[in-house]
Chain A
Amino acid sequence: MTLSALLLGGRGGDLTSFFSLVFLFMFLPAFLIIFSIIPNKGKKYWLLAASYLFFWFVSGTLVAYLFLSTLSMHYFGMWLEKSQTELKEELSGAPRENKKTIKKQYIRYQRWIVFLAVMIHIGMLLILKYSGFFTKNLNSLFSYLDLGIDLAVPEYLMPIGISFFTLQALSYILDVYQGIIKADHNLFRLALFISFFPQIVEGPICRYSQTAEALWEVQPIRARNFYFGLQRILFGMMKKVVIADRLNKLVTEVFLNFTEYEGGIIAIAAVCYTVQLYMDFSGTMDAVMGIADILGIRMPENFARPFFSKTISEFWKRWHITLGTWFKDYVFYPVTMASSMKNLTSSARKRFGSYYGPIPAISIALFCVWACNGLWHGSAWHYVFFGMYHFILILAGKLIYPAVRSFNEKCHIRPEWFGYRLLQMVRTAVLVVIGELFFRADGLLAGFYMFRTMILQFTFTSLDNTLLKKLGMDRFDFLIVGLALILVWIISMVNEKGISVREVIDRQTIVIRWTVWLAMLLFIIVFGAYGLGYIPVDPMYAQF
């Protein structure tokens, strides 16, 4: 096997998974060795070069989109800053009566700059990701109206992570506009902030103020960071390779041939998919955090034990946190703070009181958030439905909250009672699983069909060894998934109490420490779903 075949033949596709051998045993070690050798001043440049190299390996010439996005952020940011400086200068020399008019003019001008920047980024995303979806729907409309028009459906190659880095770029522009951060005059620092290779595939969606400076000031690797980072990667690997990938066969089979299965099996597949998605995404996030840990960089967490949530609203504060906060900061707040919404709230408050008064404005903002959230995940109606489903659940939760509280008071049910909280967690989990069923289904109609079957035909009569064989999961597979999930659950419980498991292990004697990590490694190697009989599963959120 020649080295050139090894380097070029794979075309970098395997690198999208941080648990691939190519990434773990070729890219990452090569990156870390060079990073360690390079003098401190050059480390940040190597980090940037390695990030672009990674992107090039994975997306080839599509790296141009990332570069364009970075250039656009850089220049729009500086344009905004120039306008802000000019405004300050003009205001300082202007008579008092003119200040308001000058300010208004500049704000309008800055809004145009922001609008242009947003249009460039969103436009790029709309063309690459959504133009096919919109054209298909237009064609359906034309066909329904019998207009005889059939538009060609465009298909574009998308660079990996475009949905993630576009949101990061927009947050930078909007933060500069709002004066939260200053425009960065250093193109390289900005480029590193947006292209940092561990985050580019699946996030987390970082803010400039969270990581840009830390990345640029990256320090030499410390032993403690190195081991802690590797341990976090190992934990993520266990989630992805032992649990998520093992469930893949069952999920793929049932969602592909859903008409062949009764409701009970569909329910099992929906639960398995929810677990698979959680383990896949959070496992990959563990790898991202682990790599950042090695470099001594703290990135925002994307998960906080979401299945301990008592409401859907809380669930979305614990699941894909950086996406949720992005929508909250850049869609929800701007909509609710718009003057028309403020007027609506104040008039509604007079009519419906202080609790229900803000609800109309909140509903409109929530609708915008969840329409965007659904579409962000993909250009298909079932994603839109997924967004609307959560919009309705969250809104309904807000509407019935006073009634529930009053009912609890009358019945002497204490919300802090364990049984009640457990019930709330189970209810939330069930609602999440239903949402994920539509999310994973092959189209909206398929989703409704599966949901209907699940409700009307909730039986398990076909569940036997033959069926399990067909689903690619036998009782041993379920046993291993169960054991691994218990392990994840125990660690989650400890983390929920604010205790770091890694630090607890680190305080033990070397024999205990090594036993734990060797056991973890062997557990993954023996019980991992890889090699003969398994199809490697790409990181699931990378496709969004």
Chain B
Amino acid sequence: MQKFIKHALRDILFLAILVVLLLILSKIVIPKDNAPEDGMPYASANGILSEQADTIDVVTLGDSVCYASFISLRLWEKHGFTVYNCGSSEQKLDYSEELLEKAFRNHSPRIVILETSAIFRNITLDEVLLDQAEKILPVFSFHDRWKTLRTRDLDFSVHYTYKDYAKGYQFEDEAKAADTDFYIWETTDTVYIPMQNRSYIKHIKSRCDEKGSRLVLVSAPSTVNWNMMRHNSIEKLAEKLGIEYIDMNLLQKEVPIDWEKDTYDKGDHLNYSGAEKVTAYLGEYLEKTGLLTDHRGDPAYQQWDKDLETFNRVIKELLARA
């Protein structure tokens, strides 16, 4: 028994040293700024970290369908709402949850929109465990930063300064027509939403409730990422959890997507003209909720006017080049 205790104590000491070393490494590899060159993944989505505190009304979460569909600055221009698009490539719900927590750190968004494509991205049990480990020891998340470490990283202080003037929206203006033969059809069938994913949605909902934010599930138009079975599954889940669900794929009058012109990759994502239509509808919806204030003209939000100016100029240039 004595031998066992001796071994156990020695093992605990070994693990304690390992944890201390990992904590030190975490401090070193964690990005010191939210810019891409500082090693921050998905810098556009993480741009929310450097937004002025308590200025964001709406946060949108989701994968590439999210960042291609909602034009934040158009909502500012037309309605005076501050919307930050935290969409990122292949975003899974564990990362949506992480971005939501980042948003809650400095902001109190009244509405949180979760684009539903992310809900169908399977999260493995391994990813769940890694996600938990990353929260305690960020070295598991940023270990690949050894390639870009600089002397500045040895100074452990973190300052987020990188700002995305487009507030997370990513512009594309190509047009590649979609095949709509199997887009919308009548069915009551559903698809399986993995249990972990359902758990994450429940957790996101409870965090929104705690923070006084309204969670809304939105399916942006996509002939590739959406189908009626997915709609039915989300509808059931939303009803069960008491979450509002808007499916823009079925609102063809209100969101008149032309699948010949409004998609840049055959229906997978919307291009700029498609996103304009989606954003226009979203703006009307946000207006109707009565939860948001028009901040236009408020000196505290001057930066949004400047960003809109930049955004419009860049869009104009890009469209002219095309």
Contacts and interface: CB of A to CB of B under 8 A. Distances in A.
Contacts of A526: 25, 29, 139, 143, 146
Given A9-B199, A518-B18, A22 B125 contact: yes
Nearest to B125: A10
Given A14-B126, A21-B126, A21-B129, A9 B143 contact: no
A207 to B, nearest CB: 34
Chain B interface SS verdict (over half): helix
Interface string A526-541: 1110111100100000
Contact of B195 (A4, A13, A14, A521): A4
Contacts of A21: 125-126, 129-130, 133
A2 B199 contact: yes
Interface in B117-145: 123-126, 128-130, 132-134, 139-141, 143-144
A8 interface: yes
Contacts of A514: 14, 17
B196 A525 contact: no
Contact of A10 (B130, B139, B196, B198): B196
Nearest to A513: B14
Interface centre among B139, B140, B141, B146 (most CB of A within 10 A): B140
A6 B94 CA distance: 13
Given A21-B126, A522-B21, A526-B25, A532 B199 contact: no
Interface in B191-244: 194-196, 198-200, 203
Nearest to A514: B14
Contacts of B14: 514, 517-518
A223 interface: yes
B282 interface: no
A409 interface: no
B196 A22 contact: no
B21 A518 contact: yes
A352 B128 CA distance: 67
Contact of A530 (B130, B195, B200): B130
A476 interface: yes
A1 B203 contact: yes
B211 to A, nearest CB: 19
Nearest to A476: B147
A21 B128 CA distance: 9
B128 A531 contact: no
Interface string B164-183: 00000000000000000000
A533 B126 contact: no
B199 A531 contact: no
B199 A5 contact: yes
A61 to B, nearest CB: 17
A13 B139 contact: no
A423 to B, nearest CB: 37
Nearest to A21: B129
A338 B149 CA distance: 66
24 contacts: A1-B200, A1-B203, A2-B199, A5-B198, A9-B125, A9-B128, A10-B124, A25-B129, A474-B147, A476-B146, A514-B14, A514-B17, A518-B18, A518-B21, A521-B18, A522-B21, A522-B25, A525-B143, A526-B29, A526-B143, A531-B140, A531-B143, A533-B41, A536-B126
Given A1-B196, A526-B25, 15 more contacts: A1-B128, A1-B203, A5-B198, A6-B125, A6-B128, A9-B125, A13-B124, A21-B125, A474-B147, A518-B18, A525-B22, A525-B139, A526-B139, A526-B143, A531-B130
Interface of A: 1-2, 4-6, 8-10, 13-14, 20-22, 25-26, 223, 474, 476, 514, 517-518, 521-522, 525-528, 530-533, 536
